[in-house]
């Protein structure tokens, strides 16, 4: 037999198929070790044949075959081709997406424990062997137990007695694989619900529409989760599998609990926060078919499932569905590929669909399903705008408007809970010398440092570098330092002095660590061990806390300041999502939205929950000014530690693009090259070729350019409709 192998080296020079001889058991999808250039390296078998395609004397044998069951499902090979040609990455890079990184490095293995099963307990035991007799009696007394824990028996009766009984045939000691179970504590009670009429017709529409992709646009609290679960249950019942994507799984323990309560061991979780062992086990449970539902963030789209019956992408508008490392894939695009391959439905859901997805739905490409009301006709929370300019002129320069303070007081008096949202962590965003204007910056990045009060230090939010707080200005020696830009730590400090009795929790990147970090905080809050939860966008995600009746949005328009065609869209989404946490149960909710430009149209639409109005306005603008989805924004990034080499590469890339433009002027709406707004991150200088194009026509050329100009010292990569231009 001969195996066609892709070696696990992500380099264009070895990006082809090599042939090795192999034993009969090897099949497509197997992971192998093969001799290559004088050493042994890992590879993937992508096909086998009876006859070689080159002279047999030139063929070396496969050195080792890894798994009994081929790790890669057959679909991987078709996706590998599509991904590597779409994003111009070596086939090995595309295949790597389908395997947990830890598994590739061979660091994790199955974990085993020994169990004891009872055999023939009528065997004769001498009276003197007291421990053996005691053990036999114990086994007899517990005859209903199918298997005993080996080490527990050893502790109780001694390892010798256990061994002796094994030798005599009274018991068998068996090595059994154990599954390391992530989020073990996260289980809820199984709730069976009758679908509301709206949910019912949504399910019906999905099942009967001939379209491949379905977009559920349902207001926050409209019960989208239940729709997903019904679809999944149906597919499982039909013997199929399902993929369920959520933006950040550790932020949605309630969703996880519901899933596990309903589907038990059939659901497996794929998440970057899991330990290597947990990931390994969950992944294999899916591969062997023991588990049939893959739940996870972006990378779970590569779950090793066959016979997929539905793919669900919750909160489809989230930026986290775009990969930030090569290949810079769009999860929705991969999801579409898999849905086509499996001929199954792809269901996208959001209270605030991305403009692009909604436009496709309006155009009829997607089946659009609209849920306009919350479950049980619960009202949407009322949004009150607090004009912070007026607050200032009234002499209130604190982070809280009078309206928000009053509402917080009411909420606390009523024994309810509040969420305060602010998208800035730390104590203050920057520190400025009042005498000379000096601003502290990171030594490795072109970024201002944030003051963190808890450890009295300055931190870089881009590279994580930590600096001691400055006793005085390093430029002029002045000691009058201004703290500018309130962060979450300061908000908590201010709330503590405003409401000394209130119990306050904070949730941001500094307070959470590990996969349980979020869970612990959210759990505490849901058990009402705190009155106020302060946090960054983490608090905006799909949480369902019945006692929350107030949401405060401290700086609604902060994201409007960025010069980016999507800033309006992002602001609308954020306001709607955070507001959606309020009043989800019986008591009506309120939202106080603080702004320095309350007349902004985005806020107007958000306050009225007018998604359609927002969308129509947005697409009108984007059409007129040629922005996505009516054009493509493309950025070719050129970065490197050596500034001269980076600039040289930038010039070459630019002139290649320019000559494309000169031959096809109509296609290019805009083209420029420049330093990126953040000039340096982690010692790497950043430059960009920025353009807007009428179509995706030249994308393959741009990806080729990136490959061509990437070297040991300069990294060049393409971003399509990037979610930020910093």
Among ligand ADP, Zn ion, none, residue 220 binds (CB under 5-8 Å by kind): ligand ADP
**Is residue 31 left, alpha or beta, with left meaning phi > 0 and alpha meaning psi from -120 to 50?**
beta
Check residue 223 for interaction with ligand ADP (CB under 6 A): yes
Strand pairing class (457-459; 532-535): unpaired
Q: Which residues, 6 or more positions from 298, have their beta carbon under 8 angstroms from its beta carbon?
A: 245, 320, 321, 323, 331
Q: CA dist 275 to 112, 170, 256, 296, Å?
A: 16, 38, 18, 14
Check residue 375 for interaction with ligand ADP (CB under 6 A): yes
Task: Encode 518-552: b = buried (16+ Cβ within 10 Å), e = exposed.
Answer: bbbbbeebbeeebbbbbbbbbbbbbbbbebbbbbb
Q: Which residues inside 532-551 make contact with ligand ADP, applying CB under 6 A?
A: 542, 544
User: With respect to Zn ion, which residue has the nearer C-beta, 320 or 682?
Assistant: 682
User: With respect to Zn ion, which residue has the nearer C-beta, 375 or 465?
Assistant: 465
Neighbours of 165 (CB within 10 A): 28
User: With respect to ligand ADP, which residue has the nearer C-beta, 425 or 581?
Assistant: 581
SS3 for 175? strand
Tokens describing residue 40: 């042994």
Interface residue with ligand ADP among 11, 60, 175, 193 (CB under 6 A) is: 193
* Least spacing, CB of residue 538 vs Zn ion, in Å: 22
* Least spacing, CB of residue 481 vs Zn ion, in Å: 20
User: With respect to ligand ADP, which residue has the nearer C-beta, 148 or 609?
Assistant: 609
User: With respect to ligand ADP, which residue has the nearer C-beta, 452 or 581?
Assistant: 581
Stretch of 191-199, 354-362, 413-421, 712-720 contacting ligand ADP, by CB under 6 A: 191-199
Q: What is the rounded CA–CA span in Å between residue 43 and residue 31?
A: 6
Q: What is the rounded CA–CA span in Å between residue 90 and residue 43?
A: 13
Name the DSSP class of 105. Answer: T
Write down the residue that tokens 């992709």 correspond to: 213
Q: Is the dihedral of CA 436, 442, 447, 450 positive or negative?
A: negative
Q: What is the rounded CA–CA span in Å between residue 178 and residue 559?
A: 47
Q: Is the dihedral of CA 423, 424, 427, 433 positive or negative?
A: negative
Q: CA dist 644 to 11, 446, 682, 708, Å?
A: 25, 17, 17, 18
Q: What is the rounded CA–CA span in Å between residue 124 and residue 140?
A: 14
Interface residue with ligand ADP among 30, 132, 222, 582 (CB under 6 A) is: 222
Among ligand ADP, Zn ion, none, residue 195 binds (CB under 5-8 Å by kind): ligand ADP
Among Zn ion, ligand ADP, none, residue 375 binds (CB under 5-8 Å by kind): ligand ADP
* Least spacing, CB of residue 522 vs ligand ADP, in Å: 14
Quick one: how far is CA 599 from the chain centroid?
A: 34
Among Zn ion, ligand ADP, none, residue 30 binds (CB under 5-8 Å by kind): none
Among ligand ADP, Zn ion, none, residue 226 binds (CB under 5-8 Å by kind): ligand ADP
Among Zn ion, ligand ADP, none, residue 444 binds (CB under 5-8 Å by kind): Zn ion
Q: What is the rounded CA–CA span in Å between residue 687 and residue 366?
A: 37
User: With respect to Zn ion, which residue has the nearer C-beta, 336 or 684?
Assistant: 684
User: With respect to Zn ion, which residue has the nearer C-beta, 460 or 690?
Assistant: 460
User: With respect to Zn ion, which residue has the nearer C-beta, 462 or 601?
Assistant: 462
Q: Which helix (H) or strand (E) holds 638?
A: strand 632-640
Interface residue with ligand ADP among 220, 450, 536, 577 (CB under 6 A) is: 220
Neighbours of 159 (CB within 10 A): 12
* Least spacing, CB of residue 459 vs Zn ion, in Å: 9
Q: What is the rounded CA–CA span in Å between residue 664 and residue 699?
A: 14
Provide the mask over 575-594, with x wherever binding to ligand ADP is found by CB under 6 A and - wherever it is not. ---------x----------
User: With respect to Zn ion, which residue has the nearer C-beta, 355 or 442?
Assistant: 442
Among ligand ADP, Zn ion, none, residue 442 binds (CB under 5-8 Å by kind): Zn ion
Among Zn ion, ligand ADP, none, residue 465 binds (CB under 5-8 Å by kind): Zn ion
Among ligand ADP, Zn ion, none, residue 121 binds (CB under 5-8 Å by kind): none
Stretch of 55-63, 188-196, 654-662, 670-678 contacting ligand ADP, by CB under 6 A: 188-196
Check residue 489 for interaction with ligand ADP (CB under 6 A): no
Name the DSSP class of 299. Answer: G
Interface residue with ligand ADP among 30, 93, 199, 688 (CB under 6 A) is: 199
Check residue 485 for interaction with ligand ADP (CB under 6 A): no
User: With respect to Zn ion, which residue has the nearer C-beta, 518 or 680?
Assistant: 680
Which residues contribute to the site for ligand ADP (CB under 6 A)? 193-196, 199, 218, 220-226, 375, 542, 544, 584
């Amino acid at each position: 037999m001969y195996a066609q192998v892709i070696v696990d080296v992500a380099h264009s020079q070895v990006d082809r198929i090599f042939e090795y001889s192999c034993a009969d058991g090897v099949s497509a999808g197997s992971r192998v070790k093969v001799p290559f250039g004088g050493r042994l390296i890992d590879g993937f078998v992508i096909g086998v044949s009876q006859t070689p395609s080159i002279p047999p004397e030139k063929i070396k044998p496969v050195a080792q075959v890894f798994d009994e069951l081929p790790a890669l499902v057959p679909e991987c090979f078709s996706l590998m081709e599509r991904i590597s040609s779409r994003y111009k990455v070596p086939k090995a890079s595309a295949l790597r997406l389908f395997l947990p990184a830890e598994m590739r490095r061979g660091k994790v293995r199955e974990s085993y424990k020994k169990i004891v099963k009872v055999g023939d307990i009528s065997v004769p035991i001498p009276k003197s062997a007291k421990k053996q007799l005691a053990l036999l009696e114990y086994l007899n007394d517990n005859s209903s137990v199918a298997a005993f824990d080996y080490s527990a028996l050893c502790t109780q009766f001694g390892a010798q007695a256990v061994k002796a009984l094994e030798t005599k045939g009274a018991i068998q000691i068996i090595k059994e694989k154990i599954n390391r179970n992530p989020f073990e504590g996260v289980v809820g009670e199984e709730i069976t619900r009758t679908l509301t009429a709206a949910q019912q017709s949504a399910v019906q529409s999905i099942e009967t529409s001939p379209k491949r992709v379905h977009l559920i646009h349902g207001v926050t609290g409209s019960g989208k989760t239940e729709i997903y679960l019904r679809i999944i249950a149906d597919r499982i019942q039909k013997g199929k599998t399902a993929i369920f994507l959520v933006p950040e799984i550790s932020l949605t323990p309630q969703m996880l609990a519901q899933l596990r309560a309903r589907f038990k061991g059939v659901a497996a979780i794929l998440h970057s926060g899991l330990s290597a062992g947990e990931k390994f086990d969950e992944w294999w449970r899916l591969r062997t078919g023991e588990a049939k539902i893959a739940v996870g963030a972006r990378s779970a789209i590569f779950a090793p499932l066959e016979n997929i019956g539905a793919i669900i992408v919750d909160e489809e508008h989230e930026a986290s569905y775009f990969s930030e490392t090569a290949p810079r894939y769009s999860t929705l695009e991969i999801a579409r590929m898999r849905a086509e391959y499996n001929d199954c439905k792809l269901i996208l859901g959001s209270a605030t669909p991305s403009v692009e997805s909604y436009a496709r739905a309006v155009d009829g490409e997607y089946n659009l399903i609209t849920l306009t009301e919350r479950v049980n006709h619960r009202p949407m929370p009322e949004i009150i705008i607090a004009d912070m300019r007026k607050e200032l002129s009234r002499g209130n320069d604190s982070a809280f408007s009078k309206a928000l303070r009053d509402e917080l007081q009411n909420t606390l008096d009523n024994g309810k809970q509040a969420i305060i949202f602010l998208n800035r962590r730390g104590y203050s965003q920057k520190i400025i010398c009042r005498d000379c204007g000096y601003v502290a910056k990171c030594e490795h990045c072109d970024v201002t440092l944030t003051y963190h009060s808890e450890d009295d230090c300055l931190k870089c939010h881009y590279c994580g570098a930590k600096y001691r707080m400055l006793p005085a200005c390093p430029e002029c020696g002045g000691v009058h330092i201004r703290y500018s830009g309130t962060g979450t730590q300061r908000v908590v400090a201010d709330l503590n002095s405003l409401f000394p009795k209130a119990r306050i929790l904070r949730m941001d990147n500094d307070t959470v660590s590990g996969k349980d970090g979020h869970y612990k905080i959210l759990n505490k809050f849901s058990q009402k061990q705190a009155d106020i939860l302060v946090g960054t966008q983490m608090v905006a995600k799909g949480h369902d806390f019945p006692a929350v009746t107030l949401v405060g949005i401290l700086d609604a328009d902060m994201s409007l300041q960025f010069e980016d065609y999507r800033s309006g869209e992002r602001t609308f989404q954020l306001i709607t999502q955070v507001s959606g946490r309020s009043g989800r149960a019986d008591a009506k909710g309120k939202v106080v939205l603080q702004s320095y430009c309350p007349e902004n149209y985005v806020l107007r639409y958000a306050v009225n929950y007018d998604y359609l109005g927002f969308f129509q306005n947005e697409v009108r603008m984007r059409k007129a000014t040629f922005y996505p989805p009516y054009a493509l924004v493309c950025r070719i990034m050129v970065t490197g530690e050596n500034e001269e080499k980076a600039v040289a590469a930038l010039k070459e890339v630019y002139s290649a693009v320019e000559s494309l433009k000169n031959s096809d002027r109509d296609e290019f709406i805009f083209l420029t090259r420049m330093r990126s707004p953040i000039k340096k991150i982690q010692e790497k200088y950043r430059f960009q070729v920025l353009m807007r194009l009428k179509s995706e026509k030249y994308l393959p050329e741009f990806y080729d350019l990136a490959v061509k100009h990437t070297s040991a010292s300069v990294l060049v990569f393409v971003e399509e409709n990037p979610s930020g231009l910093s």
